[in-house]
Amino acid sequence: MPTVYRLIARDLLRHHPGRTALGGLGLAAATGCGIGAPMALAAVVDSMSGRGPAARPVLVFALLLAGALAGAALASRAAADRASATTARHRGAAFVTAMRVPPYDTRYRDGELLARCSSDAETPARIAGVVLSCAVTTMGGLAAFVLLCTIDWRCAAVVAAELIASWFVVRAFLRGSAAPEAGYRAARGALADLLVDAHRGARTIAALGTQDRELRRVLAPLGELRAAGRRSWRAQRDVGWRMGLLDPLLNAAVLAVAGLSAVAGRLSPGSVLAVLLYSQLTLMVLEQVDLLAAAVHALPGAGNLAELLTTAPPDPGGPVRLPPGPGHLAFERVRLTAATAGDGPGGAEVTCTIAAGTHVAVVGRSGSGKSRLAALVGRLADPAGGRVLLDGHDLRTVPVDDVRAAVAYAFEEPNLFGATLRAAIAAGADLRHEDVVRAAREARADAFVRRLPAGYDTPPGAAPLSGGERQRLGLARAFARPARVLVLDDAMSSLDTATAAEVAHAVRDTWHGRTTLVVTHRAATAAAADLVLWLDAGRVRGYAPHRTLWSTPGYRALFGAVDREPAMQAGPA
């Protein structure tokens, strides 16, 4: 069974069996009373024609109507409760899964992920309601058809012919509407992703004066969105006019056959009315077309949600706790990405050791694998091959929480979480105010934080922070943690040269004796490190002190293309 159908079946049978049973009971009661009502109404009509006492048929008919109304109300209440509970559960599970998607997992774009957690989370409950309603209505229609056969088989034959003709119309509609809806949702996800991307770069777009061009780029999926919507509405239009044509023809045919039977004396006036009502109850199955269309339209969204919910969680690591250690790192034949045909016999692998307490600068051109290598140290990503060892332990054999506690990160674009800047630096850790201030001073952030109106109690969203100031707060967050390895992933790119030098000296002083990896484009930062790991297309091009590598033209060209600091153009510091 496909994943999406298993998801819907679990919603109905496992997670909310009580609400499902209650809703089914209400629908069954409403349908059962509705099936009995035509016979009761026929008895009322016949009694009014002098064929028997009228009090009892009227009472029975009234009770059946009351039962139908009560059952419908019960079913509606149970359906609403089940839908809200199911949607809340799926939305919560989707948010949890989305938060656990590895940072370097590129399967889900931001806007698409948002759509899966919001509108797509509602679709399973909608489909489950349609399934339950269609099942009960179909059984009721079958029962009505059986009763119609007992009254007049000729009228039943006319209704059966209508059902067969209508089935082909509905079948064509359901087949033709699935593809447009899938295209519509794909275009909607692309539009949401582009909108999120444009919102993030709003300042850059305004500064460049490219609002009109960006607007055209963001709205580009509207063409596909419009085309898919038109195809869907065209399919609904076609089924609508065909069904609209068949329905009056059926009513006329049933009325004609029933009238002839009445003239021939085979049917009483009440029986004629019962025939007409049972034919309508039988054809109520066709009235589920709109619900089926809604279910078909919701299926791609439910599939998107099921795909997200079945995303394998990150590997939690092994059961062996990571013991204390000095921070010795080793990369053994590590593949940063999956192997390709152009990798050659040796493949694109990284093999090197970083002694405990060593400060290493990681350099290379864009796309060489610097950030990917940095991500492997704290298991923000896993290698496509090989092993990463921390103090002799393969990172995948110890709990991931132990790895994250042993490795502190600072990034190029830090996100500041928390109600205040103090909380943003502490970021959930149990730190004293003195520890937060100390880390901010080491990151050269204490001075500008104190100048804010509320100081460390300023909400991050209310602080007018520059890119460099945000980076210094991100550095402070990393410095505040008692980790054995510090990873700075281009975390000083927005700092001016003087501040970057001060922070680099603070790193050496504060993290003396502890291992540090600094992903950088600055020659001065590389020169200040003990060793430089030079990556090129996922391979180690060089691993030596900056002064040694500077004699290589390719190494000098690397910084000449990226960092034109005058002091470094003449040679290494």
Which of 184-188, 245-249, 531-535 has the largest mean confidence?
A: 531-535
Which pLDDT does position 563 carry in this prediction?
A: 45
207 strand-pairing partners = none
Closest CA to 114 of 190, 202, 183: 190
| Backbone torsion region of residue 48, taken as left when φ is above 0, otherwise alpha when ψ lies between -120 and 50, otherwise beta | alpha
Place of tokens 């980076």: 471
Lowest-confidence range among 170-184, 253-267, 293-307, 354-368? Answer: 170-184
> Residue 100's CB: how many other CB atoms inside 10 A?
12
Q: In this structure, which CATH number among 3.30.43.10, 3.40.50.2300, 3.40.50.150, 3.40.50.300 belongs to the domain 356-381+399-569?
A: 3.40.50.300
Which pLDDT does position 502 carry in this prediction?
A: 83
Average of per-residue pLDDT values in the chain = 80
Q: How far is CA 385 from the centre of its chain?
A: 28
Token representation of residue 418: 């928390």
Contacts of 479 (CB under 8 A, 6+ apart): 408, 439, 442, 443, 486, 506, 510
> Residue 504's CB: how many other CB atoms inside 10 A?
24
- Report the DSSP pairing between strands 385-390 and 531-536: unpaired
DSSP reduced 3-state for 52: coil
Closest CA to 424 of 356, 363, 490, 472: 472
Instruction: Work out the average pLDDT over 308-337.
Output: 87
pLDDT at 296 exceeding the cut of 60 = yes
- How much is the CA Rg of the chain, to the nearest whole Å? 35
C-alpha torsion sign, points 380, 386, 390, 394 = positive
Q: What proportion of the chain, given as a percentage, has pLDDT over 90? A: 18
CA gap 173, 540 in Å, rounded: 59
DSSP reduced 3-state for 105: coil
- By the 8 A CB rule, do 393 and 322 touch? yes
Q: Please state the length of the chain.
A: 573
Band the pLDDT of 334: cuts 50, 70, 90.
very high
Strands laid side by side in the 393-394 sheet: 349-354, 329-335, 385-390, 393-394
Band the pLDDT of 62: cuts 50, 70, 90.
confident
Lowest-confidence range among 27-41, 48-62, 121-135, 264-278? Answer: 48-62
- By the 8 A CB rule, do 500 and 528 touch? no
CA gap 330, 485 in Å, rounded: 13
pLDDT at 87 exceeding the cut of 60 = yes
DSSP reduced 3-state for 365: coil
Domain ranges, ordered by start, for the chain: 3-309, 356-381+399-569
Q: Do the two domains 3-309 and 356-381+399-569 of this chain adopt the same fold?
A: no
pLDDT at 343 exceeding the cut of 50 = no
Higher-scoring residue by pLDDT: 402, 12: 402
Residue by residue, what is the 3-state secondary structure of 493-524? CCCCHHHHHHHHHHHHHHCCCCEEEEECCCHH
| Residue type at position 502 | E
Which pLDDT does position 150 carry in this prediction?
A: 84
Question: Angle of helix 289-309 relative to helix 110-117, nearest 10 degrees?
Answer: 120
Which pLDDT does position 245 carry in this prediction?
A: 64
pLDDT 10s digits, 414-458: 888 888 899 889 886 778 899 999 999 988 899 999 998 899 999
Which pLDDT does position 304 carry in this prediction?
A: 81
CA gap 27, 534 in Å, rounded: 70
Band the pLDDT of 569: cuts 50, 70, 90.
very low
Lowest-confidence range among 169-178, 306-315, 384-393, 472-481? Answer: 169-178
CA gap 131, 114 in Å, rounded: 27
| 542-551 CB contacts, 8 Å cutoff, 24+ apart | 543/352, 546/361, 546/572, 546/573, 547/572
DSSP H or E run through 471: helix 467-479
Which pLDDT does position 243 carry in this prediction?
A: 62
Residue by residue, what is the 3-state secondary structure of 252-282? HHHHHHHHHHHHCCCCCHHHHHHHHHHHHHH
As assigned by CATH, the class of the 3-309 domain is mainly alpha
535 strand-pairing partners = 540
Rounded to two decimals, what is the model's pTM? 0.66
CA gap 434, 430 in Å, rounded: 12
